[in-house]
Amino acid sequence: MAPVDHKTMFEIYRETDYNRAFRCVFFTDLDEHNRGKEIARAAAGETVFSGFIADERKPAAREAIEGIVDDLNAMDGDDACLSPGEYQRRLGEFLVP
């Protein structure tokens, strides 16, 4: 298990405004200039999936997470979603407890 300072917390969420876009945020990467705005934005949305990724695999994990967000945004309508198992399948190699 990676120590707390060797992992990054992330969340995939869906905005609740009219466009209902999916977004992701990497909380432990935020700096003081964007922290409040990004956290408020994520808190106002609907959590789709969240977890921690190992810092040593962060570039590949970011790519995979951003790919999921792109796939979700490409789906039509309010029913756009992936099963919990699909998130695990696509991100399992990057996730840490």
Task: Please write the tens of the pLDDT for every residue from 42-68.
Answer: 999 999 999 999 999 999 999 999 999
Tokens of 91: 């991100």
Number of domains in the chain: 1
Taking 70 as the pLDDT cut, the residues of the chain under it are 1-5, 78
Domain that holds residue 45: 4-96
Nearest to 17 by CA among 45, 39, 37: 45
Q: Length of the chain in residues, anyone? A: 97
Give the residue ranges of DSSP H helices in 1-97: 35-44, 58-74, 84-91
Q: What whole-number percentage of the chain has pLDDT above 70?
A: 94
Q: Which pLDDT score, from 0 to 100, does residue 4 have?
A: 52
Q: Which pLDDT score, from 0 to 100, does residue 82 have?
A: 86
CB contact at 8 A, 24 and 13: yes
